[in-house]
Structure 1
Amino acid sequence: MEKLEMNNIFSLFKNKKVLVTGHTGFKGAWLSELLNSIGANVYGIALDADELSLYNLIDLKTKVKSYIQDIRNLESIKKIVKEINPDIIFHLAAQPIVLESYNAPVYTYETNVIGTINLMEAMRELNNLECAVMITTDKVYENKEWAWGYREIDALGGHDPYSASKACSEIAIKSYKRSFLNNINMVSVRAGNVIGGGDFSKHRIIPDIVRAIEKDEPVELRNPNSVRPWQHVLDVLYGYLLVCYNLIYNDNVSDSYNFAPIDEGNIYTVEYITKIFIENIGRGSYKINVHDTNKKEMNMLRLDSSLARKELNWKEKFNTKEAIKHTAIWYKEYLNKNDVNNITKIQIKNYIGI
């Protein structure tokens, strides 16, 4: 990943009107800050940010034109998208938590499926949209918990409502592409377990560790042996921008792409990630407390990112241990009550080489 290559890709976004749905969430806030740093005019549609969120900590509301709106409201979404008239869209708005999908299955399906359809309905009325990148998840695959990574041609499915809703949204995306949006460059992208500073979501291991440190308690690991493709948020977002670049300048683009670490990063368990994070941050402890519950999370999930590496020339900058290190650096600043706006800018600047 050469500096010149990255700069060529980033130059595409300068002065473009870029819409990010879900910009008040963890990945959406990082993406909005990244786009802002490379000169894009960023717009966002999302629900209000949680009080403790990256969006608020870096004062993103002063850098993005925000529309606080539930994506399930079709007429409002159509009106807002038409008003923005974006050149580029990144769709991240979602109910993203597996365990929460068991508590609120209808809301999860409405947000993840109908919300995606509502956005595509709005896209039908645009005449200058250059590309749309539809972000789903690694959990869209029919998970058989086998040892090798899922490829883009493998069957979609989902045991829990979150995974199934995202698989449904993938089917809807392909349907709209073929039925109504065949003149629009649109691709779905699937990433693994994304880590990085500023994630305060419930039921995610890094935020759980940080909350436990704040309470001076050991973090409880409910699935210590679960394996996920752990990767840093900036590596994933670079993949999203790279997809957009190829959609505009390359005719040979597939319908969907996986972004995941190479095999070495596809084998780490929750317990291992916890140990390395605690070691890097220099604080904390853990205990294993497996609950017998019908709210099942899959134990083994691996992704094959060969297609993105071959067709897009994507490559992660951080291996999994480096991703954990940079994540711990961010949270050290947070726990020490320092200005995390500064560390966020530094990490983006160092990543993109400006």
Structure 2
Amino acid sequence: MATKRALITGITGQDGSYLAELLLSKGYEVHGMVRRSSEEKFERIQHLHGKIQLHQGDLLDQFSLAALLNLTKPDEVYNLAAQSFVPTSWNQPVLTGEFTALGVTKMLEAIRHTRPEARFYQASSSEMFGKVLEVPQTEDTPFYPRSPYGVAKAYGHHITVNYRESFNLFAVSGILFNHESPRRGLEFVTRKVTYNVARIKLGLQEKLPMGNLDAKRDWGFAGDYVDAMWRMLQQPQAEDYVVATNETHTVRELVEIAFARVGLDWEKHVFIDPAFVRPAEVDLLIGDPAKAKTKLGWEPKVRFKELVEMMVDADLERVKAGQR
């Protein structure tokens, strides 16, 4: 059987790096799209050097996408690239819309004209549910996004459905709830907590400023979630799936577990800083992955406490080594 080829946008990110590892383990030829920049950050995929092929391209440049599809001829395309940090979407709403919404359309158009037989995965987000209209959230729960990022993701989701139904493309969306790992960026709350806990433990700082400690999220492990992405593209029919743990935890629990891992009392170090409170907060996100379990045979393996402790341990090693 011929080797399958996959193209991953956002390959330098958390999910992209785990997905590249997974596909390599399954014998794929893996191609990644990276944007040209003066400061190239490839630390998450450094250990894959020589095993994957990187190409320059940009979601805002449809011609570069078509050229890349022609060059790599992928069987599967995973669109993970986006402006993916919610607070930044308030400061840069137009840029967020261009990458996270219109970028999806440009990729779908490029696939439709260049590689229509390819199977397409779109990274949708639980932030589309926003001010939730039912608990837990399923594939049928209406969207009510509460940030420019959530709005842009909802557009990307609907345009993927539209191209599937209008042009008969094999195009699916994974509605992924929060998924974390030691490779998470420092701007995300989980990594912000675990990294700063490591610094406090090692005596490099005293305090940790936080926002809303009562916000609840459904947090899973990114390594588990990329497996669900792959499974979606192996199905006989293109459908959308919620990927979640069906468990909810508060930011306060995250903080408690992280400080407990290093033997510290969180209340002595954490204070609330209004600068970290969002203009419109999403208070409760919890996903029901029943469809993914039934149809994909997928379930999360890493539990919340284990995930937080894994991240704290990794950050302790990083900080000791003088890394971020």
What does residue 284 of structure 2 align with?
A: 300
The answer to whether the 8 Å contact 1:218/1:284 transfers is: no
Structure 2 unpaired stretches of 5+ = none
The answer to whether the 8 Å contact 2:198/2:312 transfers is: no
Please identify, of 329-338 and 95-104, the stretch whose mean Cα deviation from structure 2 is larger: 329-338
1:287 maps onto 2:270 in alignment: yes
What does residue 218 of structure 1 align with?
A: 207
Distance 1:86 1:220 in 2: 45
The answer to whether the 8 Å contact 2:130/2:282 transfers is: no
Specify the code of the residue in structure 1 equivalent to 2:163.
Y
Give CA deviations for 1:71-128 in whole Å, capped at 9, x if unaligned: 1111111111221110111110101111000000000000011111111111113457
Specify the code of the residue in structure 2 equivalent to 1:154.
T
1:30 maps onto 2:18 in alignment: yes
Give CA deviations for 1:316-349 in whole Å, capped at 9, x if unaligned: 1122122223333433332333999xxxxxxxxx
What does residue 178 of structure 1 align with?
A: 165
What is the Cα deviation at residue 213 of structure 1? 3.6
- Distance verdict in 2 for CA 1:26–1:174, change over 3 Å: same
Q: State the superposition RMSD in angstroms.
A: 2.7
Give CA deviations for 1:191-243 in whole Å, capped at 9, x if unaligned: 11111112224143323440464442432220111100010111111111221
The answer to whether the 8 Å contact 2:164/2:171 transfers is: yes
The size of the alignment, in residue pairs, is 316
The answer to whether the 8 Å contact 1:77/1:122 transfers is: yes
Specify the code of the residue in structure 2 equivalent to 1:230.
W
1:123 maps onto 2:106 in alignment: no
Please identify, of 191-200 and 292-301, the stretch whose mean Cα deviation from structure 2 is larger: 292-301
Distance 1:331 1:227 in 2: 23
1:194 maps onto 2:179 in alignment: yes
What does residue 78 of structure 2 align with?
A: 90
Give the TM-score, by structure 1 length: 0.80
| Aligned 1:97-116 pairs, distance under 5 A | 97-116=85-104
Specify the code of the residue in structure 2 equivalent to 1:291.
P
Distance 1:139 1:212 in 2: 26
Distance 2:206 2:108 in 1: 45
Sequence identity of aligned pairs in percent?
22
Specify the code of the residue in structure 2 equivalent to 1:140.
M
The answer to whether the 8 Å contact 1:43/1:84 transfers is: yes
Structure 1 unpaired stretches of 5+ = 1-11, 341-354
Specify the code of the residue in structure 1 equivalent to 2:226.
L
- Distance verdict in 2 for CA 1:339–1:203, change over 3 Å: closer
What does residue 63 of structure 1 align with?
A: 51
What does residue 205 of structure 1 align with?
A: 190
- Distance verdict in 2 for CA 1:284–1:177, change over 3 Å: farther
Give CA deviations for 1:266-286 in whole Å, capped at 9, x if unaligned: 2x1011112212333557954
Distance 1:297 1:62 in 2: 43
Specify the code of the residue in structure 2 equivalent to 1:98.
V
Q: Of the candidates 10, 18, 25, which is equivalent to residue 6 of structure 2? A: 18
Give the TM-score, by structure 2 length: 0.87
Give CA deviations for 1:158-183 in whole Å, capped at 9, x if unaligned: 12100001001111111111222x0x
The answer to whether the 8 Å contact 2:258/2:312 transfers is: yes
What does residue 158 of structure 1 align with?
A: 145
Distance 1:53 1:124 in 2: 30
1:236 maps onto 2:225 in alignment: yes
